[in-house]
Structure 1
Amino acid sequence: MTAQDSDGGLPGYAEEFDAPEGYLDFARYGPPSREVLAVTAAALARSARADHDTVNDLMRAETRARDSAARLAGADPERTVLLPNASTGLFHAAFGIPRGTVLVPAGEFPANHYPWRRTAALGRARARSLQPDAFGRITPDLVRAALTDDVVALSLSAVDFRTGFRADLAALREVLGPDRLLVVDAIQGFGVADLPWQAADVLVTGGQKWLRASWSTGFAVLSARALDRLEPVLTGWTGVEDVALFDDREHPPATGAQRWSITNLSPVTAAALAAALELVERTTVTAIQAHIATRVDQLVDTVRGCGGEILSPTSHAERAGIVSFTLPGTDPATVAKALHAHDVTPTVRATSLRLSAHASTPLAAVDRVQAALTSLR
């Protein structure tokens, strides 16, 4: 019996968490580890007894988190910057493009639509809706067909929040060529899906979902092309050169990704993010991804066996940790009530439900889903 086939979560990883066994809502929020809780409490406690060393000591967590994020993304730390959430990174990217058309998939999570609406209102870059195929996928062929001379970028999620479909980032990079930017929201895949993140010119993610760092955590990684082409419109006082020199003059933006910094972030949340990222590094994305794939297979088989219709890809190459489904003839709210009665936590939408398993998810969670869906027959 392999670790991925065991009844519990992934050994060495699952033991770090206390989430209920029926929790299957990681695509919405990932309950943090005991270590994240501990470092958060320790940082807050230290701040309550502040002395002349406290602030400088606590701020070192930002470097730890940035360096770990860069290693996991396969990037240089100088091209990595911590952010409070993924949306902040998307706004930086959007306002950094002065003109042209940006392809944005229809049906994308709203966080990837509003930045482009705001820039269009100011006469900067404009979004053009890109319709997915019949299976809800954005494929390289679709993007190729949509390219016109005015298109300067493509902005999309690495993993679709509705279906769990993972975009082919390497192929999309090739289709776009050297003259267009690829902006990627990695929040539904970073840390749990082994994707070629280096294909992105702008990679943004938040830490509250699959990374399990809780809220107000995240980062961005910028390619050399992005640093060269994106205007630092939203650069704040912490994103410039000679940041500690208060001479009442405007300083030039930092040469690296730090130019996306607006102000100092919380060293408490930086400590939480560092702990979460380092746990992923110790466990490895490969091991985490393999365990999730096993649980997703089991959830797909269970839902189908109970008469459910799967809305997510079933191929390992096309999916991450999300299983979206409907139970024909049964209202999603009714299905959710049955799942709740069996201590299962799904995401409930108006027309479907979403189950998202992590490397800490035990087989017992699948059994709970089966019992809940069977109760509706």
Structure 2
Amino acid sequence: MTERRTAGGLPGYAEHFEEPEGYLDFARYGPPSRDVLAATADALARSARADHTTVDDLMHADVRARRAAARLAGTDPDHTVLLPNASTGLFHAAFGIPGGTVLVPATDFPANHYPWRRSEDLGRAVPRWLTPGARGPITPDAVRAALTPDVVALAVSAVDFRTGARADLAALREVIGPDRLLVVDGIQGFGVADLPWPAADVLVTGGQKWLRASWSTGFAALSDRALERLEPTLTGWTGVTDVALFDDSEHPVAPGAGRWSITNLSPVAAAAFAAALELVERAGVRAIEAHIHDRVDQLLDTVRAHGGEILSPTAPAERAGIVSFRLPGTSPSDIAKALHTHGVTPSVRATSVRLSAHASTSLAAVTRVDAALSTLG
């Protein structure tokens, strides 16, 4: 096993965090940085001493977070809106399509299923379920084969939650052409995978996983095509023009992505989100991604050395930060017990175990996995 970077994680990034050494569950939840903790504490402390300027001042965090999110997504703040989670954005997208068929992978995370089921219940867009290959996301060829004149959109996850396999967003964009919308759930890749996010017409993500901003944080980035075609079905009182004018009349929807706003979000959460996004910017997505690739290589080598069956792609260009595996003859629950005994935090599924490393993950985490699996031989 070769350590190609530093034993303690990516320099300039890892020192902002203090998760336990064996934490390998970032695909479920990413423990936030000290920057996020400080931003949250500061915003709450200021709110506890509120005066006539406090609320307006705290609301400025929304602008700061939107600007950082837009920069990382390759767009601008006018095309970006903060959301409390990824699911809210997916429901906006689903309810905004008035009709037609939307292609959706049948094995995608449920967050990308229920919005389309509900839109069908309401007589709007109807999902057509696609079956991907064994190792993850739907392929461009499978999408091409499913295209019919009634298809108006494709909704996919950028990274498969089970295996960490990346979707080829650029190729999917090319396959569906300019007349259909590409809706992307980026929660398992945004901030840690250098993907062509501008290929998406709708990019949504939550901040509690790889962005490490904790819960109630997220955003959506919308293309001009999305703004033109999606109906503002869920627009609330904060998603319109002249939002501070209370004149007892309906106002036009906001011209940009702000039309997806339903109500004011927590400025405390926005401050936390801004701190998390800016830390990613300072470290650089490519540097974060490179460190994660190294850790994933080491985890793959370790699992193989103990006879594990790898369920994730092994080529760096095809994967993100997830290693899913099975040990023939050993139940996932028994694997989990061994990992827990050695201070490792995984995700445990019915038929597999999932490890997910970040740029703060040290080589010691890999050593712990090796020691745990050694007890199962």
The question of a shared fold, defined as TM-score above 0.5 by the shorter chain, is answered with yes
Aligned equivalents of 1:355, 1:319: Cα separation in 2:
13
User: CA 1:302 to 1:63, structure 2 compared with 1: closer, same or farther past 3 Å?
Assistant: same
Q: In the alignment, what sits opposite 1:309?
A: 309
What letter is aligned with 1:181?
Answer: L
Partner residue of 1:31? 31
Partner of 1:222: 222
Aligned twin of 1:68 = 68
> 3-state DSSP class of the match of 2:247?
coil
1:12 is matched with 12
Q: Deviations over 1:62-121 (max 9, x none)?
A: 000000000000101100000000000000000000000000001110000000111100
1:225-244 CA deviation, whole Å, 9 max, x = no partner?
00000000000000000101
- AA aligned to 2:301 is D
Tell me if structure 1 keeps the 8 A contact 2:135–2:165: no
| Counterpart for residue 328 of structure 2 | 328
How many Å apart are 1:134 and its aligned residue?
3.7
Post-superposition CA distance 1:116-171 (Å, at most 9, x none): 11110010000000110243331111100110011100001000000000000000
Residue type of the alignment partner of 1:324: S
- In the TM superposition, what are the counterparts of 1:283-298 in structure 2 within 5 Å? 283-298=283-298
Cα distance in 2, alignment partners of residues 172 and 156 from structure 1: 10
Matched residues in 2 for 1:133 and 1:338: separation? 31
What is aligned with 2:108?
Answer: 108
**Given the superposition, is the C-alpha separation of residues 259 and 4 from structure 1 closer, same or farther in structure 2, using an over 3 Å criterion?**
farther
- Any residues of structure 2 matched to 1:170-185 within 5 Å, and which? 170-185=170-185
CA deviation map 1:314-369 (0-9, x unaligned) = 01111000000001100000000000000000001111000000000000000000
TM-score normalised over the length of structure 2: 0.99
- Counterpart in the other structure of 1:153: 153
Query: For residue 162 of structure 1, what is the aligned residue in structure 2?
Result: 162
Kindly indicate whether the alpha-carbon contact (under 8 Å) linking 1:95 and 1:124 is maintained by their aligned counterparts in 2. yes
Aligned residue for 2:143, secondary structure, equals helix
Quote the residue 2:207 is aligned against: 207
| Paired position in structure 2 for 1:369 | 369
Tell me, which stretches of 5 or more residues in structure 2 are unaligned?
none
> Would the aligned equivalents of 2:80 and 2:219 in 1 still touch at CA under 8 Å?
yes
Q: Is the 8 A contact 2:64 2:274 kept in 1?
A: yes
Matched position secondary structure for 2:107:
coil
2:290 counterpart letter in structure 1? A
The separation in 2 between residues aligned to 1:20 and 1:142, in whole angstroms, is 41
Secondary structure, in 3 states, of the residue corresponding to 2:238? helix
TM-score (norm 1): 0.99
* Aligned equivalents of 1:376, 1:17: Cα separation in 2: 31
Q: Which residue of 1 aligns with 2:253?
A: 253
| Kept after mapping to 2: 8 A contact 1:3/1:10 | no
Q: CA deviation at 1:3?
A: 9.1
Listed one character per residue, the Cα deviations across residues 191-212 of structure 1 (whole Å, up to 9, x for unaligned) are 0000000000000000000000
For this pair of structures, how many residues does the alignment match?
A: 376
- Which 5+ residue runs of structure 1 have no aligned equivalent? none
Q: What does 1:68-107 correspond to in 2, within 5 Å?
A: 68-107=68-107
Q: 3-state DSSP class of the match of 1:239?
A: coil
Distance 1:3 1:253, change over 3 A: farther
Instruction: Tell me what 2:127 maps to.
Output: 127
Q: Contact (CA 8 Å) 1:4, 1:10: kept in 2 or not?
A: no
* Residue 6 of structure 1, CA deviation: 1.7
Aligned AA for 2:163? T
**Structure 1 residues 4 and 75, CA, compared in 2 at 3 Å: closer, same or farther?**
farther
Q: Distance in 2 between matches of 1:42 and 1:58?
A: 10
| Aligned-partner residue type, residue 364 of structure 2 | A
Change (3 A) 1:290 1:4: farther
- Contact residue 202 and residue 223 of structure 2 kept, 8 A: yes
What do you get for the CA RMSD once the two structures are aligned? 1.0
**Residues 37, 272 of structure 2: 8 Å contact kept:** yes
Which runs of at least 4 in structure 1 moved beyond 4 Å after TM superposition? none
* 8 Å Cα contact 1:342/1:368 also seen in 2: yes
- Identity across matched positions, percent: 79
